[in-house]
Structure formats: C-alpha cells, structure tokens
C-alpha cells in the first residue's frame, strides 16, 4: 500500500510540477530533493519527446522510400510494355523481310538461278548450316534489290539490342520487387515500434509530455515566423544577390492549391494514399492539392522536387513546396508567415505546422 501511495505521489509530482515548469509557470519552489526529482522527470520527458520526433522522421523516410521504390517499379513496368511492343514491331519487320527473302529464293530456284533443294535451303537445321543459309538468302535478297546489307544487319542488331534491354529491365523489375518487400517490412516494423513507443510515452508521461510537445511547437512557430520575416526584409532591402528575373513568378493558382490543402486538415496520414477525406501521405497531399489547381505532380516527394523549378529559400511564397531530409523524403505546401500544411507521419493527421527552415533542403514552385 505504501509503495502504491509513493508511486501515485511521484506521478502526481511529475504530471503537475514538471508540466508547470515546461509551460513556463513562475514561482515554483521545491525542496532540493524534490527539485532533483523534477529535473530528472523533465529530462525524461525531453528525451522521450526527442525519441518520438526521431521515430516520426524515420517512419516518414521509410514510407517515402517505399513509395519511391513502388513508383520506380510502376515506371519500369510501363517501360517493359513499351520495349515488348518495340520487339514485336521489329520482329514483324524482320519476319516480313525473311518472307520476302524466301520468296526470292523460291523464284530464283524456279527460274533456275541456283541448283539444289528448296526445302533444304529454307528449312532451319536441315541441309546447309545456318550461316550458309543466311548468306544464300541474303545474296538473293540483295540481287532482287529490295534490301541492303546494312538494312538487314540493322534490323537484326536492333532486335538483339531490344531483347537485351528487355532482359535488363526484367532483372531490374525483379530487384525492385525484392526491395519493395524488404522496405515494406522495415516500414511496418518501424511503424509498430513507433506506435508502441508513443503509447508507452503517453501512458507514463501524459500531460508532461504533451506540455513539452506544445512548448516545442510554439517555439518552432515563433522561429518560423521570425525567419519568414527576415526573408521578406532581405528581399526588400536589396541584400540578396539572386537574379530576380531567373525566379519564376508565384503561380496565380497557388491559393487554390492552398485552399484545397486546408480543406483536408484533420484527415489522417495514410502511407501511399491521396484520397480526399480519407487519407494522404506527404507527397500525396501536395499532389492532390495542386491537382485541384490544375497542376499535375508525381506522387513522390523527390520527383516533385525534380519536376518543378527550384526557388531560393529567401524568395519562398505561398503555394511553394518545401522539402526535408537528404535524400528528400518529406514535403509540405507553404502557406505564408512561416507556416505550411503537411501530412506528417503515421498516427497523425494533416495539419498546419511551422516550417523548420533550418531543416529545409529545397523549395520549388509548381504552377
């Protein structure tokens, strides 16, 4: 009973006093022993908040890596179909030439141009060996004047190269399939661990953890607003050296994309999704929001960064996309005053959040 009472007293102390310290309440005076306990509890809360942030980042990176691999596979499957079609076309062309060559051979034999058995000449593996057969038919085709040696060689070479290309593509597709399974397993494992860590943290630290997270969010928002203000000031006082003419103007459709993103605040993060009112991952949200403004973007943050014009961060404007991590694995849509809308991570919802400008690795401008 005494142990239970002590545990309750300690939890109450952590939940009230530490929460007060984290939210900046003044005038809390404690005996030295209790102050030490509060310091320990505060450090524990801070460590847990750090761990949760790191786990969220890792889940986001793994999820986006999986999306990248799946997109690569989808693109490769399209390329395989195209290569197969090229092979079919080239094979049909070569078959047509071979049919013409056979006809020339028949006519040549009927006309007494060469002696010997037509059946033996035209049947693979019977009579003359393959190289002699090819040479004989080619000579006849050349004599008939409907194909040149270079054209015939080019047809055969093109077909061989296409078949090799198809082999490489199929090998790569098999590698990607294996990678996807591994990445999926890694992402699911990390999501499970993150969920367990979050549940444990909320159960053990409760209000103190929420207070620390709120404190961090407010500090980040202040820093973001300050940084955005400094960008505006530097643009105004002419201290930036960028050639303004090289920077595309902000899109007139940016506010449409922003309004679309705002309409999804509170919708859950779901990996690989971009479904209005149902769920989004980070690049799914930015893709969907800009699609409402008539601008097409790929469903992958790295590809979005590579398919839209880069903007110096000092010239960031509402509607621009902001990217995080190296390689890029997270994206949000900037809405001004240091804030963005993004789909952050598993277990969270689409939100309005401060931009951590010190973590931004690229800014691009759709539209």
DSSP 168-207: HHHHHHHHHHHHHHHHHHHHHHHHHHHHHHHHHHHHHHHH
Residues 13 and 205: beta-carbon distance below 8 Å: no
Tens-place pLDDT, residues 282-326: 999 999 999 999 999 999 899 999 999 999 999 999 999 999 998
Tokens, residue 18 = 């530490």
What is the predicted pLDDT for the residue at 67? Answer: 80
Neighbour count for residue 236 (Cβ, 10 Å): 9
Measured between its terminal Cα atoms, the distance across the chain in Å is 67
What is the predicted pLDDT for the residue at 143? Answer: 56
pTM higher than 0.85 for the full model?
no
pLDDT band at residue 27, thresholds of 50, 70 and 90?
very low
What is the predicted pLDDT for the residue at 76? Answer: 93
pLDDT band at residue 235, thresholds of 50, 70 and 90?
confident
Q: How far is CA 161 from CA 94, 145, 153, in A?
A: 14, 26, 12
For residue 268, the surrounding DSSP H or E stretch is none
For residue 29, the surrounding DSSP H or E stretch is none
Residues 183 and 62: beta-carbon distance below 8 Å: yes
pLDDT band at residue 118, thresholds of 50, 70 and 90?
very low
Res. 203: pLDDT tops 60: yes
| Percentage of the residues of the chain whose pLDDT score is greater than 70 | 75
Q: How far apart are CA 55 and CA 48, in angstroms?
A: 10
What is the predicted pLDDT for the residue at 107? Answer: 61
What is the predicted pLDDT for the residue at 102? Answer: 62
Res. 119: pLDDT tops 50: no
For residue 291, how many C-alpha atoms fall within 13 Å in the half-sphere facing its CB? 14
pLDDT band at residue 15, thresholds of 50, 70 and 90?
very low
For residue 335, how many C-alpha atoms fall within 13 Å in the half-sphere facing its CB? 18
Q: What is the dihedral of CA 306, 307, 311, 317, to 10 degrees?
A: -130
Higher-confidence residue of 299 and 38: namely 299
Tell me 337's DSSP state.
T
**Closest CA relative to residue 333, chosen from 280, 300, 289:** 289
Q: What is the mean pLDDT of the chain?
A: 81
**Closest CA relative to residue 88, chosen from 163, 151, 153:** 163
Neighbour count for residue 3 (Cβ, 10 Å): 7
Tens-place pLDDT, residues 50-85: 988 888 888 878 888 888 888 889 889 999 999 999
Q: φ and ψ at 26, to 5 degrees?
A: -85, 170
Q: φ and ψ at 353, to 5 degrees?
A: -145, 155
**Considering only 7-16, 263-272, 281-290, which range has the smallest mean pLDDT?**
7-16
Q: How far apart are CA 113 and CA 346, in angstroms?
A: 78
For tokens 């971009």, the residue is 274
Cis amide linkage into residue 132, ω under 30° from 0:
no
Res. 42: pLDDT tops 60: yes
Tell me 357's DSSP state.
G
What is the predicted pLDDT for the residue at 222? Answer: 95
What is the predicted pLDDT for the residue at 238? Answer: 67
Angle value at C-alpha 260, between 254 and 263, nearest 5 degrees: 140
Residues 253 and 291: beta-carbon distance below 8 Å: no
| Percentage of the residues of the chain whose pLDDT score is greater than 90 | 42
| SS3 at position 334 | strand
Higher-confidence residue of 150 and 3: namely 150
């Amino acid at each position: 009973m005494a142990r239970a009472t002590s545990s309750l007293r300690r939890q109450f102390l952590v939940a009230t006093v530490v929460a007060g310290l984290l939210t900046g309440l003044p005038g809390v005076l404690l005996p030295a022993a209790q102050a030490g306990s509060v310091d320990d509890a505060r450090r524990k809360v801070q460590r847990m908040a750090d761990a949760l942030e790191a786990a969220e980042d890792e889940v986001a990176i793994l999820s986006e890596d999986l999306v990248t691999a799946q997109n690569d596979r989808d693109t490769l499957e399209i390329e395989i179909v195209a290569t197969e079609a090229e092979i079919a076309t080239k094979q049909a062309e070569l078959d047509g030439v071979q049919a013409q060559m056979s006809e020339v051979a028949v006519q040549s034999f009927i006309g007494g141009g060469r002696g010997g058995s037509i059946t033996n000449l035209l049947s693979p593996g019977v009579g003359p060996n393959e190289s002699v057969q090819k040479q004989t038919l080619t000579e006849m085709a050349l004599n008939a004047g409907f194909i040149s040696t270079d054209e015939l060689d080019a047809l055969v070479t093109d077909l061989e190269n296409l078949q090799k290309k198809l082999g490489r593509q199929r090998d790569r597709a098999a590698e990607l399939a294996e990678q996807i399974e591994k990445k999926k397993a890694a992402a699911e494992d990390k999501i499970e661990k993150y969920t367990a860590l979050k549940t444990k943290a909320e159960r053990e630290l409760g209000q103190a953890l929420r207070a620390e997270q709120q404190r961090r969010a407010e500090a980040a928002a202040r820093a973001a607003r300050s940084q955005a203000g400094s960008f505006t000031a530097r643009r105004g006082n002419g201290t930036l050296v960028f050639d303004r003419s090289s920077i595309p103007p902000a899109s007139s459709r940016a506010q449409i994309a922003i309004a679309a993103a705002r309409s999804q605040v509170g919708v859950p993060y779901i990996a690989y999704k971009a479904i209005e009112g149902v769920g989004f991952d980070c690049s799914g949200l930015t893709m969907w929001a800009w699609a409402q403004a008539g601008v097409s973007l790929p469903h992958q943050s790295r590809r979005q960064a590579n398919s839209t014009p880069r903007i110096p961060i000092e010239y960031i404007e509402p509607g621009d996309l902001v990217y995080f991590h190296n390689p890029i694995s997270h994206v949000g849509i900037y809405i001004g005053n240091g804030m963005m809308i993004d789909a952050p991570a598993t277990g969270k919802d689409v939100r309005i959040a401060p931009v951590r400008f010190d973590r931004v690795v690229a800014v691009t401008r759709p539209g």
